[in-house]
Structure 1
């Protein structure tokens, strides 16, 4: 089927009221998919290399299928070894040209090589050009699937560094390649805190609409307002250094709203209604992998704000009457006293200073109890047991205690390693955030289930696009698609009325 005929058939399908069908590439556990589903799209297929993330995606979006077909959706797939027609053949979706209306996804940033415009134009002209590069640049594979699927709309997401990677504005080069394929393209650096996510998360989003739709790309307006901390401004400046705001570039400044908008969703509003965790303070928590299948009752008198209510009532992912799942934490016995004593908003230098003070107080206590100085060997042993070993001047933001009255910092996949970057603001609980709290801070609703044990779940969450941010973008794309399909629908109704 040629491109014009494929595009026309897809628009005609939408004009009949059918939901747009999504292919999610580099899907992870499904943050983008969840946002698009929430905006009225249908998630028909996903490609994800990580087996647990692929299982999470299938469980949440294809859990009602018969076992054999579910297993095909849950299968981890390597996009560098998968052809588009193979994917639709395995899933029984017909031809690749007619199967999907929208392609979404975020190729991993670490896969970027210094390819440049010439290679991207080559990909646009020749569907097998990516094979020239034996490293299999993953965003070239993304373009390969776009060329094969001929979607009406595209969403691409990535970290701010994609705007300035080795002297290349990679997202700008991708925009040029998509323009060569017949799309109108815009991209923007957006912070999710301006769209109702309780997290200051800067990411680059690209939206492309097929030019035959006649629709201009529009990004959603901010619904919240805040002044970002100074560190975010510096990072954004470096990322935007290669963006040409005055030439033919497709970059668009993000809307940050005005001070008359509501303030950002705070950490306390996002997770304050969840059950407290104190078992570790009573010696009831042991080291080892923690499963995610135990349900914990919600507090009976918790006051629910707008955000917590959404997390409990997201259509299709409502809170279970059995209680909250995935509410488990990492075992960090050395650090509970530090977590309790360090100030909200404190970073690693504050944590280290707190630990040293606690160590000094312990030495003084032992001296008072024994009436004699503490031996140097015992002082050294206690220091090693009580004070974290990391240099104070290196990675000061390695630790951070949440502020209850402020959005949290960016959740990253690294929370699967230690979670020190997100210490709970409640000193009485003296702990890092749980898996479910991480999910809440990413805007995953309480009914969304994660596969695997605690560490893989943290990693899946940190890697995801916040579903609420994805939904805001999906709503803008849906509006464009409905506008393009409306004239055809109106014309058909007029003919039927004659």
Structure 2
């Protein structure tokens, strides 16, 4: 990278009010973008293939401008074409930061080839188009020459078929002149009411920083054993090949003296209750896709400090007439079963409850004089109307009823399919969570808009990086960038600031 361009970008950041400019790749609806915006960055552009997620991003960060709402296929869009679309004159000087993360599934069979070979020998991976996403990501880094890069992915990227993709990615970036580090962070430690474990990789130009620092936890929670075992599996490669994991940064241990993690009840309790069984009895909930136009007033319950933050997030404040998207799935068979379940129950327990409910109903029908033999059509119809069809031995984690006094478990994109992984803790409401409740558990503010109907909205939320966790990372990166810009300011006072275009013309 041309040194004049680096000095120019750092010199610009030293100016009063100048914000680092972000490009969000594989942006989704904008979880990372929202966190970086809140930390003082300028979200200047995004690339997202899914049309509804792309529209959500454009609505929330660019006022719905058409050039920002269109879906973009990174495999067929060059950096130059992206700049033309976003009406940016210079490619090299368009962005200061690139965030996002390409899918990693394509590299399980690559072995210790070092992912840099994708650049040198792309034909070796032509059979797997997902490899091209990684190649395009690197192409964008090369073209835009950012001062810093942030990548996010699942923890298993540290042990993907015995491969440490994060370490190999760092090797590629180091070859390009970056100082790199990666770690595992759990969102519950950063004020998010959800226990979500993710890998984050940060890289700075070597002229900007000589080490990577990650944010320290602000909250504490005793994570369930499943999260500890998942982390152990992910870091297995690190333990066996630790001398090769040069860029791994041990996460700071959360202290028990920190404030307790935000609970599901603190996150959701001020939202209006939705009593699913009553709605069903009154015919007020029906099958079919629904849009989110009707506002819903908050309940009269006193909001927690977290709820107040979600209502008042700068730039994404809640509408004055109430929140949108507070709608639930139509699951008529299961509302009574949800009421019967205990907090923490998963599918095996739900199945047992359902069988008990069936036996009770069967007995009641027989006491009324109904003759229902075990092999009759009536018997089967009654069974099917109460008992879910899944094998309890094969789907133990398919369902879960939340605890009120703990953060929620990880929200997945599968929310777009059924939502059984997050059954509301309040048995009186007896339902799965609403779209707005899912957004709250991810730390999306109440004024954030999701494009599309219920299923796409759930999918966008489940795919996102929790904005509060993104904000913690962004704030740490901002400190590093500001410190570097301040240190470099005297050197470039006359040379770059007064003649920046001349310096750039040499790039």
Give the TM-score, by structure 2 length.
0.92
SS in structure 2 of the partner of residue 333 of structure 1:
coil
> Which whole-Å CA distance do the structure 1 matches of 2:400 and 2:70 have between them?
37
Alignment correspondent of 1:232 = 227
> Which whole-Å CA distance do the structure 2 matches of 1:121 and 1:27 have between them?
24
> Which whole-Å CA distance do the structure 2 matches of 1:442 and 1:160 have between them?
18
Alignment correspondent of 2:100 = 105
- Segment of structure 1 superposing worse, 137-146 or 9-18: 137-146
Alignment correspondent of 2:125 = 133
SS in structure 1 of the partner of residue 255 of structure 2:
coil
Post-superposition offset of 1:168:
1.1
Alignment correspondent of 1:292 = 292
> Which whole-Å CA distance do the structure 2 matches of 1:159 and 1:280 have between them?
38
> Which whole-Å CA distance do the structure 2 matches of 1:245 and 1:223 have between them?
28
RMSD after superposition = 2.0
Give the TM-score, by structure 1 length.
0.93
- The answer to whether the Cα contact below 8 Å between 1:160 and 1:239 also exists between their aligned partners in 2 is yes
Q: Residues 152-167 of structure 1 correspond to what in structure 2 (within 5 A)?
A: 152-167=147-162
Post-superposition offset of 1:211:
0.3
> Which whole-Å CA distance do the structure 1 matches of 2:339 and 2:283 have between them?
16
Deviations, residues 223-252 of structure 1 (Å, cap 9, x unaligned): 111221111121111111112444552111
- Segment of structure 1 superposing worse, 458-467 or 380-389: 380-389
Alignment correspondent of 2:252 = 255
> Which whole-Å CA distance do the structure 1 matches of 2:107 and 2:449 have between them?
31
> Which whole-Å CA distance do the structure 2 matches of 1:115 and 1:83 have between them?
26
> Which whole-Å CA distance do the structure 1 matches of 2:113 and 2:89 have between them?
33
Deviations, residues 290-340 of structure 1 (Å, cap 9, x unaligned): 1011111112x2211111111001100011101010111110000001000
Post-superposition offset of 1:490:
6.2
C-alpha distance 361-253 of structure 1, shift in aligned 2 (>3 A): same
> Which whole-Å CA distance do the structure 2 matches of 1:423 and 1:217 have between them?
39
> Which whole-Å CA distance do the structure 2 matches of 1:121 and 1:215 have between them?
22
Post-superposition offset of 1:120:
2.4
Unpaired runs of at least 5, structure 2: 498-507
> Which whole-Å CA distance do the structure 2 matches of 1:202 and 1:351 have between them?
26
Post-superposition offset of 1:487:
2.3
- The answer to whether the Cα contact below 8 Å between 2:35 and 2:469 also exists between their aligned partners in 1 is yes
> Which whole-Å CA distance do the structure 2 matches of 1:446 and 1:58 have between them?
17
Unpaired runs of at least 5, structure 1: 65-69
Correspondence 1:71 to 2:63: no
- The answer to whether the Cα contact below 8 Å between 2:108 and 2:163 also exists between their aligned partners in 1 is no
Alignment correspondent of 1:67 = none
Deviations, residues 344-379 of structure 1 (Å, cap 9, x unaligned): 110001110111111011011112222866564122
Alignment correspondent of 2:184 = 189
> Which whole-Å CA distance do the structure 1 matches of 2:205 and 2:367 have between them?
77
- Segment of structure 1 superposing worse, 245-254 or 408-417: 245-254
Post-superposition offset of 1:119:
5.4
> Which whole-Å CA distance do the structure 2 matches of 1:394 and 1:200 have between them?
24
Alignment correspondent of 1:348 = 347
Q: Residues 23-422 of structure 1 correspond to what in structure 2 (within 5 A)?
A: 23-63=23-63, 70-116=65-111, 118=113, 120-122=115-117, 130=122, 133-134=125-126, 135-136=128-129, 137=131, 138-243=133-238, 244-247=241-244, 249-278=246-275, 279-299=279-299, 301-370=300-369, 376-377=375-376, 378-422=378-422
Post-superposition offset of 1:52:
0.4
SS in structure 2 of the partner of residue 354 of structure 1:
helix
Alignment correspondent of 1:478 = 478
C-alpha distance 199-212 of structure 1, shift in aligned 2 (>3 A): same
